[in-house]
């Protein structure tokens, strides 16, 4: 009986998940990116499908194949991810921002390849849009889950992000800790909401993903009862 309920946990719900790094071009042959492999986001997409959800996966460049059954939108830059997430936002019930979005991008993208010159190179960067924060500003019933990859003061920084971005939940991890973070198949996360902090043990990204959705649905039910 319990198993049945768990299997149907996300039935009738539309879940939008962002995954992977973004890629910010400098010129036609070079870009800035980060170490995200997309594994956590793809595990979330798979778990959401298993729980019966209607899943849209918006992904930066990764080596992974999208899970069968997910609507898949491939993007490169933070700007493209911003557009893709916002265009489906009205229809979404849960949005999970597990992507590692670049905070900065080159101020201009050169049309031609940058040729080397004597001396050092100085490039100017500008801020990208904060996608999660922009969703927090326009949310209207959607449940917003952000991620926080930290190397220190994990709980404190994650709580600050929860409030600053008007998210409903932040999944935090210390990327310096063994078994957590970039490229691993496991993750040790803390689930942080406005009134609770739960530390999960080291789990496979698949198991962690299920726990995250279980916690989200639990919290959503609580919110509706208020």
Adjacent-strand bridge partners of 33:
none
* 133 has binding-site annotation: no
User: 78 near 127, Cβ under 8 Å?
Assistant: no
* 107 has binding-site annotation: no
User: 142 near 165, Cβ under 8 Å?
Assistant: no
In whole angstroms, the minimum distance from the beta carbon of 101 to Ca ion comes to 7
Q: Which of 128, 174, 187, 219 binds ligand CTP (CB under 6 A)?
A: 128
State the angle between helix axes of 39-50 and 205-225 in degrees (0 to 180), rounded to the nearest 10. 60
Alpha helices by DSSP H, 77-204? 78-87, 131-138, 154-164
Determine if 146 is a binding residue for ligand CTP (CB under 6 A).
yes
Closest to ligand CTP by CB, 8 vs 127, is 127
* 31 has binding-site annotation: no
Q: How far is Cα 107 from Cα 60, in angstroms, rounded to an integer? A: 20
Closest to Ca ion by CB, 7 vs 151, is 151
Q: Which of 48, 148, 162, 192 binds ligand CTP (CB under 6 A)?
A: 148
Determine if 216 is a binding residue for ligand CTP (CB under 6 A).
no
* 103 has binding-site annotation: yes
Q: Which of 15, 47, 75, 132 binds ligand CTP (CB under 6 A)?
A: 132
Cα separation values, 32 from 49, 62, 100, 128, Å:
32, 14, 12, 13
Q: Which of 6, 83, 93, 130 binds ligand CTP (CB under 6 A)?
A: 130
∠30-131-177 over CA atoms, to 5°? 75
Longest Cα–Cα distance in the chain: 71
What residue ranges bind Ca ion (CB under 5 A)?
A: 103
Positions touching ligand CTP (CB under 6 A) are: 78, 97, 99, 101, 103, 128, 130-132, 146-149, 161
**Residue list for the binding site for CTP:** 103, 113, 147, 161, 165
């Amino acid at each position: 009986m319990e198993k049945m309920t768990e299997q149907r946990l996300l039935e009738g719900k539309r879940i939008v998940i962002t995954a992977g790094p973004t890629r910010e071009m400098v010129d036609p042959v070079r870009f800035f990116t980060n170490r995200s492999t997309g594994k956590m986001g793809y595990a979330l997409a798979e778990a959401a499908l298993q729980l019966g959800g209607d899943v849209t996966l918006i992904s930066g460049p990764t080596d992974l194949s999208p899970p069968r059954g997910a609507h898949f939108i491939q993007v490169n830059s933070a700007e493209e991810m911003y557009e893709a997430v916002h265009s489906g936002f009205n229809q979404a019930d849960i949005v999970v921002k597990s992507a590692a979005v670049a905070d900065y991008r080159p101020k201009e993208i050169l049309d031609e390849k940058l040729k080397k010159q004597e001396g050092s190179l100085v490039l100017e960067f500008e801020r990208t849009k904060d996608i999660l924060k922009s969703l927090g500003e326009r949310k209207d019933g959607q449940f917003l889950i952000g991620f926080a990859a930290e190397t220190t003061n994990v709980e404190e920084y994650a709580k600050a992000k929860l409030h600053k971005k008007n998210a409903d939940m932040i999944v935090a991890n210390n990327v310096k800790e063994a078994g957590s973070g970039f490229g691993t198949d496991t993750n040790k996360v803390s689930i942080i909401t406005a009134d609770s902090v739960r530390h999960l043990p080291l789990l496979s990204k698949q198991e962690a993903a299920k726990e995250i959705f279980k916690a989200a649905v639990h919290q959503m039910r609580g919110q509706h009862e208020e």
